[in-house]
């Protein structure tokens, strides 16, 4: 299957880890629909690690833990589908998952068949306990081949954390997204580190196989499995969401959206910012004026989006001459500019824009090319 836009959804790991069960999945499905997340584009509900028993059954099939999923996985998938959502599950290319449950190594075809029978639409495939003699590329290709032949469209989400130069081989595998960094945590330095790694590999992102920067921590505020201390500030969560969206990462929420307040919902459901993530052109971003934190990306409809990420601990300025964006004086064109986080219309600028950005803040400007005479 060819996936044209970065997948969006919710994944259980960041908040629940091994405390995941059928009741939580059902409640999350309800919340995704009732609170407007599905309407904003979040369509996959994904159960991460720790959903199965420690042993396979006599036929070699993986078995959902009956204490957590007393009605089996098909019933869960049916409920998720009944809400208009898609259903995702988790396994691993190795002998075990990262939390020590059965992995899919040498069970790829039987697992793909089982997942298809349950109605799975999305498979996150981790990289723990991979036999050292096996190449990651070969194992992801093997599962993709099994999925391609299981009779159901199941999106493959590779999770090898960028290890073994994943970017060099992932597009040979049939994965539709690939974890390009290690695990995210709900602290500022984690967001900053993932951004810095992305600076070296964003060229590999594109329709069909998206760089996955890991699940969102927006709204965790230090709670849950990857929550640390106080988590991020609201401003920092905005920056986190801006980076993921500007670079076109899958947007998989990880916080407990049952208790998201209006400020957090306003981030996760900001249609203008989500539209950057979901832009159909996927043109590569580029740095403006050689500044490593000032970026431009040209959109499918002819607009230009400018992003200024202030990852530093002091305020900073920016200065963007439009000639850097392809609009010289001879063009007779300027930019009509809107700030996507404040909603403020900055009017038409002829030759350049300047401004300031607070510490840890992001400014996102969507610019329409207009005649200026
Ligand atoms: C790895 C992955 C995480 C999560 C856990 C589950 O660390 O990178 O996203 O799936 O395993 O054990």
Mean pLDDT within 219-228: 92
The arrangement of secondary structure in 286-371, i.e. its CATH architecture, is Sandwich (2.60)
The predicted structure's pLDDT at residue 373: 76
Is 13 close to ligand 1, i.e. is its CB under 6 Å away? yes
The predicted structure's pLDDT at residue 229: 79
- Name the average pLDDT for the chain: 97
Closest ligand 1 atom, CA of 183?
8
Helix/strand/coil for 169: helix
Q: Which of 57-66, 227-236, 267-276 has the lowest mean pLDDT?
A: 227-236
Ligand 1 mean position, distance from CA 53 (Å)? 17
Reply yes or no on whether 262 is catalytic.
no
Q: CB of 275 within 8 A of CB of 336?
A: no
Mean pLDDT within 109-133: 98
The predicted structure's pLDDT at residue 2: 86
Mean pLDDT within 174-183: 97
Residues 123-152 have pLDDT tens digits of 999 999 999 999 999 999 999 999 999 999
CA-nearest residue, atom 5 of ligand 1: 98
Q: Is the pLDDT of residue 273 over 90?
A: yes
Residues 356-373 have pLDDT tens digits of 999 999 999 999 999 997
- Kindly indicate the confidence band of residue 230, based on its pLDDT and cuts at 50, 70 and 90: confident
Ligand 1 mean position, distance from CA 335 (Å)? 43
Burial of residue 370, with CB atoms counted within 10 A of its CB: 0-12 exposed, 13-18 middle, 19 or more buried? middle
Is 235 close to ligand 1, i.e. is its CB under 6 Å away? no
The predicted structure's pLDDT at residue 277: 98
Beta strands in the chain (DSSP E): 8-11, 44-46, 86-92, 122-126, 155-159, 177-179, 210-212, 251-253, 286-287, 294-298, 304-309, 316-321, 333-339, 345-349, 352-357, 362-371
The predicted structure's pLDDT at residue 228: 82
- Kindly indicate the confidence band of residue 220, based on its pLDDT and cuts at 50, 70 and 90: very high
Is 98 close to ligand 1, i.e. is its CB under 6 Å away? yes
CA-nearest residue, atom 6 of ligand 1: 49
Is 76 close to ligand 1, i.e. is its CB under 6 Å away? no
Residues 278-299 have pLDDT tens digits of 999 989 999 999 999 999 999 9
CA-nearest residue, atom 12 of ligand 1: 98
CA-nearest residue, atom 1 of ligand 1: 98
Q: How far is CA 34 from the centre of its chain?
A: 22
Mean pLDDT within 236-265: 98
Q: CB of 168 within 8 A of CB of 203?
A: no
Q: CB of 102 within 8 A of CB of 52?
A: yes
Distance CA 239, CA 294 (A): 13
Per annotation, catalytic residue among 126, 212, 277, 293: 126
Reply yes or no on whether 30 is catalytic.
no
Distance CA 235, CA 20 (A): 30
Helix axis angle for 72-82 and 108-118, nearest 10°, is: 50
- The reported pTM is 0.97
- Kindly indicate the confidence band of residue 186, based on its pLDDT and cuts at 50, 70 and 90: very high
Query: Among 99, 158, 159, which is best to mutate for testing ligand 1, by the most ligand atoms less than 8 A from CB?
Result: 159
Strands 122-126 and 304-309: unpaired
Strands 155-159 and 177-179: parallel
Distance CA 48, CA 27 (A): 16
Distance CA 309, CA 293 (A): 5
Beta bridge partners of 27: none
Distance CA 47, CA 88 (A): 6
Per annotation, catalytic residue among 18, 78, 148, 183: 183
Q: Which residues of 256-279 are buried (b: 16+ CB within 10 A; e: fewer)?
A: bbeebeeebbebbbbeebbbbbbb
Mean pLDDT within 301-307: 98
Ligand 1 mean position, distance from CA 330 (Å)? 53
Residues 327-351 have pLDDT tens digits of 999 999 999 999 999 999 999 999 9
In the chain, CATH 3.20.20.70 covers 8-277
Is 126 close to ligand 1, i.e. is its CB under 6 Å away? yes
In the chain, CATH 2.60.40.1180 covers 286-371
Ligand 1 mean position, distance from CA 18 (Å)? 11
Q: CB of 178 within 8 A of CB of 209?
A: yes
CA-nearest residue, atom 9 of ligand 1: 183
The predicted structure's pLDDT at residue 192: 98
Beta bridge partners of 366: 305, 338
Percent of the chain exceeding pLDDT 90 equals 97
Query: Among 48, 184, 185, which is best to mutate for testing ligand 1, by the most ligand atoms less than 8 A from CB?
Result: 48
The predicted structure's pLDDT at residue 361: 98
Distance CA 181, CA 294 (A): 22
Is 212 close to ligand 1, i.e. is its CB under 6 Å away? no
Helix/strand/coil for 114: helix
Is 18 close to ligand 1, i.e. is its CB under 6 Å away? no
Q: CB of 273 within 8 A of CB of 242?
A: yes
CA-nearest residue, atom 8 of ligand 1: 183
CA-nearest residue, atom 11 of ligand 1: 98
Distance CA 174, CA 258 (A): 34
The predicted structure's pLDDT at residue 197: 97
Closest ligand 1 atom, CA of 159?
8
The arrangement of secondary structure in 8-277, i.e. its CATH architecture, is Alpha-Beta Barrel (3.20)
């Amino acid at each position: 299957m060819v996936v044209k836009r970065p997948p969006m959804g919710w994944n259980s790991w960041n908040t629940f880890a091994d405390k995941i069960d059928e009741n939580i999945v059902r409640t999350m499905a309800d919340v995704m629909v009732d609170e407007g997340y599905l309407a904003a584009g979040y369509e996959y509900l994904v159960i991460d690690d720790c959903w199965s028993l420690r042993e396979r059954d006599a036929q070699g099939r993986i078995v959902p833990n009956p204490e957590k999923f007393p009605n089996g996985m098909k019933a869960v998938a049916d409920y998720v589908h009944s809400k208009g959502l898609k259903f995702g599950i988790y396994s691993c290319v190795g002998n075990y998952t990262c939390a020590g449950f059965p992995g899919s190594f040498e069970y790829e075809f039987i697992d793909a068949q089982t997942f298809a029978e349950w109605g799975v639409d999305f498979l996150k495939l981790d990289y723990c306990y991979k036999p050292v003699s096996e190449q990651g590329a070969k194992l992801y290709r093997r599962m993709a081949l099994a999925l391609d032949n299981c009779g159901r469209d199941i999106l493959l989400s590779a999770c090898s954390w960028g290890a073994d130069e994943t970017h060099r081989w992932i597009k040979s595998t049939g994965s539709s997204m690939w974890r390009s960094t290690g695990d995210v945590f709900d602290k500022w330095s984690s967001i900053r580190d993932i951004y810095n790694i992305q600076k070296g590999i964003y060229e590999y992102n594109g329709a069909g196989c998206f760089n996955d920067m890991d699940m969102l921590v927006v709204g965790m505020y230090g709670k849950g499995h990857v929550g640390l201390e106080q988590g991020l500030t609201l401003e920092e969560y905005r920056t986190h969401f801006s980076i993921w969206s500007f670079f076109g990462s899958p947007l998989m929420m990880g916080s407990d959206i049952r208790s998201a307040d209006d400020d957090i919902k306003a981030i996760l459901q900001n249609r203008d910012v989500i539209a950057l993530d979901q832009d159909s052109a996927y043109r590569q971003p580029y740095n403006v004026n050689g500044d490593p934190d000032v970026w431009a990306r040209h959109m499918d409809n002819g607009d230009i989006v400018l992003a200024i990420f202030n990852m530093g601990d002091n305020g900073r300025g920016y200065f963007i001459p439009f000639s850097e964006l392809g609009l010289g004086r001879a063009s007779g064109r300027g930019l009509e500019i809107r700030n996507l986080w404040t909603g403020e219309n900055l009017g038409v600028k002829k030759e350049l824009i300047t401004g300031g950005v607070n510490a840890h803040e992001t400014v996102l400007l969507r610019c329409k090319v207009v005649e200026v005479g």
